[in-house]
Structure 1
Amino acid sequence: MRLVLGPMEGVLDHLMREILTDINDYDLCVTEFVRVVDQLLPDHVFHRLCPELLQDSQTKAGVPVHIQLLGQDPNWMAENAIRAAELGAKGIDLNFGCPAKLVNKSKGGAALLQHPELIHDVVKACRQAVPEQTPVTAKIRLGWDNPEDCFEIVDAVQSAGANELTVHARTKAGGYKASEIKWDYINQIRERFSIPLIANGEIWNYQDGQACIETTGVDSLMVCRGAFNVPNLGNVVKHNHSAMPWSEVVELLLVYSQYEMKGDKGLYYPNRVKQWFSYLRHQYPQADALFREIRTFNKAAPIVEHITRYRDELAA
């Protein structure tokens, strides 16, 4: 099995990639999207979202990182793909799946699922622009509101020359509802097309991963939200490990506090750690109580102090 740590805008940043690739056996990471509109972006934009560019486009654990671009103008997408490749990106991923209203309103992400010909033009422009050895991949949903549209969309991506395709097995209208997952469509795509596939959606544990592989016939999987619920989800899905015990999760929250962040670290850590708690609560009942104790703190120091004391009491 090949396992990819997928992107989550505003959540899965380089610090999280650092932590999660350090404790899991991931094969690849994809960054949060770089939003492309009508210009070539300055280098610092790429470095901010992907500081790993300065270390051979990989995390400290050695996991390769691909840069994701989101936009709808083929020429500007190609120009920015060239720049990302020049800066050392190990691969370029193109986002046609983001369901966020703000992104879709400006005709980005999943909005392009309604325009397969434009998806084709964007992929083709990027594929022709960057060196042959740099993979150009794409991520899609099954369609805007009709999963049957996936075949036309996949044809657009494959015929444009993409090296690989991640399929989130829901439509845009399906959001993130578990009831909307349609893995069987990935199997149909695999049977009809030759492009290598990565299956994504509703993989929360080892059993889900195995069921997805069995249903889709695809043994490359991507996890996103679940990687926050269970920090060692990579090893759970890949190697059937048990979910990380709560005491180790608490240690991880403290490790996270030691990471430096340019700008106001004091503000960054409280916001991000509270965000992480909102995911942890789905797996660990204890996270709820601890979150209630720290949620009023808006500075890093008291949060770290409180979690440290909590950890010591847990170990006593």
Structure 2
Amino acid sequence: MEGLLDFVLRDVLTRVGGVDRCVSEFIRVTGSLLPERVFHRFLPELRNGGRTLAGVPVRAQLLGSDPVSMAENAARLAELGPEGIDLNFGCPARTVNRHGGGAALLREPERIARVVAAVRRAVPRHLPVSAKMRLGYDDASLARECAQAMESGGACELVVHARTKADGYRPPAHWDRIPLIRDAVGIPVVANGEIWTVQDALRCRELSGCDALMLGRGMVADPGLALAIRAHDRGQGGAAALAWAELLPQLERFWEMVCEDLDPPQRAGRLKQWLNLLRRRYPEAQRAFDEVRTLTDQQAIGAWLCALLLRAGGPVPAARAA
């Protein structure tokens, strides 16, 4: 999820808990061999054994359409120690598709097979190579063939976003079409798309037949969603998700990391972006968003965050209170 689920949010969300594995933002591969610094920029977790600071493994995602270039970059990336490599055949962005990447490849199953096979041959056997796809480009007519191409190329796992490229991110996600793909392959299939609540997760499992789920924007909007799903699986249905007061220390950590790692013009926007999504789950986030939406100065936002923590009755770090 380019521009949203970066390493900062991965750190914060995995601290909350409930997540087995993360996938990085896609790293675009064109025709050149990327320097190591590019992989480290997208995946700072490579310096921590391929895991977030909370210990959750992170799989690096590559996006591209040329088998040779993808293989060369995958080989270099493999030397840096990711948990695995994931291949993006689902991005619907116009600029990506115009250059033959992402979901555009869902019109060419044979080419998908060549890309996956080239990457699989280029990296050590112990390193997982997985893939993510949508149901198709304009329609789902080639869904089975695309999934089989990924499996034949050597993918060990397949995530299916249950919409076509033409659907974009418009609801609904067609979870009921995933069984067609599951029946066509012998590798694990993970369901993805439009999972915002525990009820969505249960319905997705029922219709898709998939036990494993990938959470995207739903996890960003409700950082306690994975924990709530796990609580339901343990027979603790109705267990409270993460309360707003419990989330605030993570919001503060997020802001600290944003200020440490992003350029000044990007900082306020990243905080507002997350608060905007949090409004779906937390009424308190609406007030917070309204208060901070006109702020751009880092010190002003820091003072606002101190006041927010004080209102919630939480501890305010000395550096913030000074």
Q: After TM superposition, is the score higher than 0.5?
A: yes
Which residue type is aligned with residue 83 of structure 1?
Answer: R
Which residue type is aligned with residue 67 of structure 2?
Answer: P
Question: Is contact 1:254-1:304 (8 Å) kept?
Answer: no
1:195 aligns with 2:172: no
Structure 1 length-normalised TM = 0.93
Structure 1 runs of 4+ with >4 Å offset: 260-265
Kindly provide the CA deviation profile for residues 255-289 of structure 1, in whole angstroms up to 9, marking residues without a partner as x.
Answer: 21222666655434312101101211122233222
Kindly provide the CA deviation profile for residues 223-252 of structure 1, in whole angstroms up to 9, marking residues without a partner as x.
Answer: 000111111121122223423222233332
Question: Is contact 1:57-1:89 (8 Å) kept?
Answer: yes
Q: d(CA) in 1 for partners of 2:103 and 2:131?
A: 12
Kindly provide the CA deviation profile for residues 90-142 of structure 1, in whole angstroms up to 9, marking residues without a partner as x.
Answer: 10100010111121122211111111111111101001111111011110000
- Aligned-pair identity in percent equals 46
Distance 1:264 1:29, change over 3 A: closer
Question: Is contact 1:261-1:268 (8 Å) kept?
Answer: no
Q: d(CA) in 1 for partners of 2:137 and 2:53?
A: 37
Q: 1:222 aligns with which of 205, 214, 232?
A: 214
Q: d(CA) in 2 for partners of 1:261 and 1:84?
A: 27
Q: d(CA) in 2 for partners of 1:122 and 1:264?
A: 33
* Paired position in structure 1 for 2:109: 116
* Paired position in structure 2 for 1:161: 154
Kindly provide the CA deviation profile for residues 148-174 of structure 1, in whole angstroms up to 9, marking residues without a partner as x.
Answer: 321111111111111111000111111
* Paired position in structure 2 for 1:307: 305
Kindly provide the CA deviation profile for residues 44-91 of structure 1, in whole angstroms up to 9, marking residues without a partner as x.
Answer: 000011111111101111111110000111000000100110111110
Q: d(CA) in 1 for partners of 2:143 and 2:111?
A: 14
Tell me by how many angstroms 1:198 deviates.
Answer: 0.9
Which residue type is aligned with residue 139 of structure 1?
Answer: K
* Paired position in structure 2 for 1:237: 229
Distance 1:261 1:297, change over 3 A: closer
* Structure 2 residues not aligned, in runs of 5+: 233-238, 315-322
Q: 2:200 aligns with which of 193, 204, 208?
A: 208
Question: Is contact 1:69-1:95 (8 Å) kept?
Answer: yes
Q: d(CA) in 1 for partners of 2:300 and 2:15?
A: 26
1:88 aligns with 2:88: no
Distance 1:214 1:188, change over 3 A: same
Structure 2 length-normalised TM = 0.91
1:17 aligns with 2:43: no
1:76 aligns with 2:69: yes
Distance 1:260 1:290, change over 3 A: closer
Distance 1:168 1:270, change over 3 A: same
Aligned residues: 308
Question: Is contact 2:258-2:267 (8 Å) kept?
Answer: no
* Paired position in structure 2 for 1:253: 251
Tell me by how many angstroms 1:254 deviates.
Answer: 1.4
* Paired position in structure 1 for 2:236: none
